[in-house]
Amino acid sequence: MTAWHRDEDGLALRLRLDGKEHLLRAEFLRGPMGYRLRKGGGRGEAVARAIGLKKGATPSVLDATAGLGRDAFLFAWLGCEVLAVERHPEIHALLADALERAEQDPEVASQLGGRLRLLKADAQAVLEQLASGPDRARPEVVYLDPMHPERRSAGTVRKEMRLFRAVVGEDLDAERLLATALRVARRRVVVKRPRRGEALGSIAPHHSLEGRSTRYDVYLSARLGKEQESTGAVD
C-alpha cells in the first residue's frame, strides 16, 4: 500500500517495507544529489562522458526511464536539453514536485535554464513516434536506466531502490526499448548497468565506461557507427 505524504521537504510516497514506514521522494538539491552537484566531477563524471559531454559539446538527451530524475537533472545542469520520460504517474508526480522546488531557487533556475522537461508517457510509444518522424526531431542521445537486478549490499541506496521497485515493479520491456532507441538516437544510446552486470539483451555495446559501482554501455547509432568504424574512433 502507498499513500501520499507532504511536509516541509515536499511531496513523498509513504510505503511499508520490512514492517516499517518509509518515505520515497525525488530530491535534487539536498542529500546525495546535492553533494553530487557541489562536489561531483561534473563533465568528468563517467555518465557525463558516456553521453558525450566533452569539449563543450552539450547533446540533446531523451532520458527514457527517468525514475527519480537524478541523471536527467545532472544532464540539464551541465547544459544539455533534456526530455525526461516517466510512465508511472506517482513517480512522475514526485519528479514534478522536486523540479518545482528546485527551480524556486533563482540560482538553480538560472543554471538549469529551463532545459529539463518532464513528460508523463510510455517511453516505448514516445520512441516509436520519434522513429517515424523527421530526423531533426530526434535526440542526439537516448539514455536508459532500466531496473537493475536487486543487489545484496545494504544501505540507503538499496533501501531507496527497494522502495522504488515496490512502486514501479520490474522493467520487462528494457530490451525492446533499447532496440527502438537505436533507431531513434542520432548519435548514441547509453545504458546504465551494474558494474559487473551483463549487457542488456543480445546487442554488444561499442564500448563502456565504469564508475565505482556502475557501468555505462555505449551503443553508437547505426549511421554514426559505420562512420566511426571506418576511422576507429569510438568516443
Question: Any residues with CB less than 8 A from the CB of 89 and at least 6 apart, and which?
Answer: 120
Question: By the 8 A CB rule, do 98 and 25 touch?
Answer: yes
What is the set of domains in the chain, with CATH numbers? 43-231 (3.40.50.150)
Q: Are 73 and 96 in contact (CB under 8 A)?
A: no
Q: What is the dihedral of CA 23, 216, 102, 138, to 10 degrees?
A: -120
pLDDT tens sequence across 101-147? 999 999 999 999 999 999 999 999 999 999 999 999 999 999 999 98
**H/E element, 170:** none
The type of residue at 217 is D
> DSSP alpha helices (H): ranges in 51-173?
70-77, 89-102, 106-112, 123-131, 156-168
How high is the pLDDT of residue 76?
Answer: 97
Please state, in angstroms and rounded to a whole number, the distance separating the CA atoms of residues 120 and 86. Answer: 5
Distance CA 223, CA 109 (A): 36
Specify the pLDDT at position 234.
42
User: What confidence tens digit (pLDDT) does each residue in 28-78 have?
Assistant: 999 889 888 888 778 989 999 999 998 889 999 999 999 999 999 999 999
Separation in Å, CA 111 to CA 31, 46, 81, 103, 115: 19, 21, 12, 9, 9
Calculated CA dihedral for residues 158, 120, 64, 214, nearest 10 degrees: -10
Question: Which pLDDT does position 67 carry in this prediction?
Answer: 94
Look at 235 and 48; give whichever has higher pLDDT: 48
